[in-house]
Amino acid sequence: MERSLRIGLAGLNQTPLDWKSNMARIRACLGDARALGIQLLCFPELVVSGYGCEDGFLHPDTADRALNLVSELAREVAHEILLVGLPFRFEGDTYNAVAVLNAGRIRGIFAKTHLAREGIHYEPRWFRPWPSGLQRNVTIDGELVPLGTYIYNAAGLNFSLEICEDAWVAPEHRPCRLVQEAQWIFNTSASHFSLGKADIRENLVADSSRRFKLNYAYANLVGCESGRAIYDGELLIAENGLITNRSNRLYMDDYLLLPHDITYEPGHNVASVKLDLTAAPDDLPPIQPNRYRKKPEPEEELAMAASLALFDYMRKSRSRGFTLSLSGGVDSSSVAVLVYITAKRILDELDYETRTDKLAYFKGLDLTGNDARALTNQLLTTVYQGTRNSGEVTRRAAAKLAEALGARHLEFDVDELVEGYKQTVSNALGRELTWERDDIALQNIQARTRGPGVWMLANISGSLLLSTSNRSEVAVGYATMDGDTCGGLAPIAGVEKSFLRHWLVIMEKCGLAFIGAIPELAYVNNQEPTAELRPPERSQKDEDDLMPYEVLDGLEAALIAQRRKPLDAFETVCGMMAKKYGRERIYHWTRRFCRLFAFSQWKRERYAPAFHLDDRNLDPKTWARYPILSGAFEAELEELDAHVARTRGTD
């Protein structure tokens, strides 16, 4: 006889080791789930402790505290089922686990078999992998609890679990292959955001349902949880190989519920852990599933992910808005626009009560109305810092953009400070400093002189100073340490320059689905990128100092993201751009890129934390871990030199 059940998936915005707030959100979400008649509720991975505890997981107290809190929660659960992620200690080791709560106690523990160890993930440092298929028992609160790969049975429904990475391995290694009698698999995840990943994840969920001939439910975290990684919070249901329900993504709420009604024939009588389940009321409102979503465009994904992360980073660090050195160029303008988008989303997506609750620490902040410019004026202070080498074009671009966004805009003339440093050093050395002899030092002192004033502004307001380096410049160290790298957060350090230039044009001309065009960006977009650190008569341009950004980004993709050796990276870029630039120039640019990348690793170690926005991030903390001191590709470049010498003139 066919039966029905209302299941639910929850996306939560948690904070590592914030025990009280994390549990408060779990309980609030549970309360809403009960109001909706949800009988089986799946939370994300490590939802109790937070996923990003890092070496906090090495402290036994972290797992002990999490288990105590889950035991308390279990006592509040009657004839419903909760799947709750937590770190769990067993026989001296810590496991990434899910507790099955039902009928007032913990009824089972499922432990993760496959630990994420690539890219931003270092789970083997903190957790032990659970042996595939192993079944054990553990005593919790005086009761024997099954631990490992079990099937659970609730009102005739057979289900089991996977935890995030368990689903990303080869099919023959997945836990769900061991529970073929299961009708449903619930995956509790902390799957980080990157541009374009949503389609990959959706295909994974649908394929899991199709391949293993079962139904699949997928819950994920949302928000900037611990400072770098962003989670998109999409909740997915797949039945018979097709996506049959999904949630929104990258939302600003503390949590989101996805209820879903299922029907099933009672499963075969297999060895399983029996759970208690009360039948749902007959008068539950119907659920309207959402099967389809618009394919995400990278321009919109960037805006949504970065603005959510800015909001979370601001409130979780209890910063009173943002301060930004606005040069009138692409990078700082992109950051300013992202803050404006953040303000608009706060007003558009959160009701007044939720806004004020999330930002209660920010005394005096007016969150009434729906004017994004007015809120930006309270959240963002920009400052243009000019010297004798600055031009009217960039000064005007900064002022016009700040006005359009509503930012509080200031102007500093730091030329006298720069000249003071130059004169002090000249006097000490007993000689005049010249551009012919001291080019880099004279450029850098201007950038460094801009640091103290903007830091002072941030300190006075208690705001977060944003630095503006992009990934292209991060790759080759084209930034002045303690100058334009000043800041507590680098929002666009994971985004390549060529994409930012494209994105700003989109924002100028047509905007995005949820935000209109910003025509004043024309003042920025009509310039060629320049640091404006040399005298005007020297006509400084970034691409003259480095190489065309499209070449730089192509080399970074081949050499770092695709892990090719310099010779292969050279040929890859030649295949795309030799007709435009010629092999000889690309050869010299390849040599330059390799040397600059190796020599600037120490800079990347000192950059402010960067959002992980795609899987080519160069942040050593989350993706690209390279030595500070190295051979700097010496042997590899000798190989490249020999190859170019052999092939020169043969094309």
pLDDT at res. 539: 67
- Same domain? For 302 and 198 the reply is no
Please give the average per-residue pLDDT across 492-507, as a whole number: 95
- Same domain? For 264 and 331 the reply is no
pLDDT digits 0-9 by tens, 253-297: 999 999 999 999 997 777 789 999 877 777 788 888 998 888 889
Cβ neighbours of 130 (radius 10 Å): 27
Q: Are 626 and 601 in contact (CB under 8 A)?
A: yes
Q: Which residues make beta-bridge pairs with 465?
A: 323
Strand duo 215-220 + 222-224: pairing = unpaired
pLDDT at res. 377: 98
The 3-class SS string of 56-91 reads HHHCHHHHHHHHHHHHHHHCCCCCCEEEEEEEEEEC
538 φ/ψ angles, rounded to the nearest 5 degrees: -90, -5
Q: Are 472 and 479 in contact (CB under 8 A)?
A: no
Q: Is the pLDDT of residue 5 over 70?
A: yes
- Same domain? For 323 and 233 the reply is no
Cα angle 273, 278, 284; round to 5? 135
Cα angle 18, 24, 28; round to 5? 145
Q: Are 458 and 380 in contact (CB under 8 A)?
A: no
- Same domain? For 226 and 358 the reply is no
- Same domain? For 333 and 380 the reply is yes
Q: Which residues make beta-bridge pairs with 145?
A: 138
- Same domain? For 240 and 351 the reply is no
pLDDT digits 0-9 by tens, 615-632: 888 988 888 889 999 999
Whether 352 is in a domain gets the answer: yes
Among 66, 64, 58, residue whose Cα is nearest residue 23: 66
Please give the average per-residue pLDDT across 128-132, as a whole number: 97
**Can you give the CATH number for the domain in which 51 is found?**
3.60.110.10
**Which two three-digit tokens encode residue 293?**
């979503």
Full residue range of the structural domain in which residue 23 is found: 3-275
The number of CA neighbours under 13 Å toward the Cβ of 410 is 15
Please give the average per-residue pLDDT across 502-520, as a whole number: 96
Percentage of the chain lying above the pLDDT 70 cut = 98
Residue after which a domain boundary falls, among 509, 529, 546: 546
Cα angle 261, 266, 267; round to 5? 115
Distance CA 378, CA 406 (A): 9
Q: Is the pLDDT of residue 120 over 90?
A: no
Q: Are 592 and 547 in contact (CB under 8 A)?
A: yes
**Which two three-digit tokens encode residue 538?**
């020297």
SS3 content of the chain, % helix, strand, coil (to 5): 45, 20, 40
CA trace torsion 624, 630, 635, 636 (10° rounding): 10
pLDDT digits 0-9 by tens, 332-365: 999 999 999 999 999 999 999 999 999 999 999 9
pLDDT at res. 269: 72
Distance CA 80, CA 37 (A): 10
Tell me the average pLDDT of the chain.
94
pLDDT at res. 650: 64
**Which two three-digit tokens encode residue 503?**
């994105």
Q: In what order do the strands lie in the sheet with 3-12?
A: 135-140, 143-148, 105-111, 93-102, 81-90, 40-42, 3-12, 255-264
Percentage of the chain lying above the pLDDT 90 cut = 87
pLDDT digits 0-9 by tens, 520-546: 999 999 987 766 677 776 666 778 888
- Same domain? For 207 and 118 the reply is yes
- Same domain? For 256 and 320 the reply is no
- CB neighbour list of residue 458: distance below 8 Å, 6 or more residues apart: 323, 464, 465, 488
Whether 183 is in a domain gets the answer: yes
Whether 534 is in a domain gets the answer: yes
Q: Is the pLDDT of residue 515 over 70?
A: yes
Distance CA 530, CA 543 (A): 8
Q: Is the pLDDT of residue 98 over 90?
A: yes
Whether 329 is in a domain gets the answer: yes
Q: Is the pLDDT of residue 389 over 90?
A: no
Whether 530 is in a domain gets the answer: yes
Whether 647 is in a domain gets the answer: no
pLDDT digits 0-9 by tens, 26-52: 999 999 999 999 999 999 999 999 999
Whether 604 is in a domain gets the answer: no
- Same domain? For 389 and 510 the reply is yes
pLDDT confidence bin for 651, thresholds 50/70/90: low
- Same domain? For 306 and 250 the reply is no
**Can you give the CATH number for the domain in which 421 is found?**
3.40.50.620
Among 151, 417, 95, residue whose Cα is nearest residue 271: 151
Residue after which a domain boundary falls, among 484, 518, 546: 546
Distance CA 308, CA 489 (A): 14
pLDDT at res. 534: 74
Q: Is the pLDDT of residue 474 over 90?
A: yes
Distance CA 547, CA 349 (A): 42
The structure's pTM equals 0.95
- Same domain? For 53 and 84 the reply is yes
pLDDT at res. 430: 96
Distance of CA 308 to the CA centre of its chain: 9
pLDDT at res. 531: 63
Please report where in the chains the tokens 């630039």 appear, as a residue.
Answer: 581
Domain count, the chain: 2
Residue after which a domain boundary falls, among 523, 546, 569: 546
- Same domain? For 260 and 360 the reply is no
Q: Are 56 and 232 in contact (CB under 8 A)?
A: no
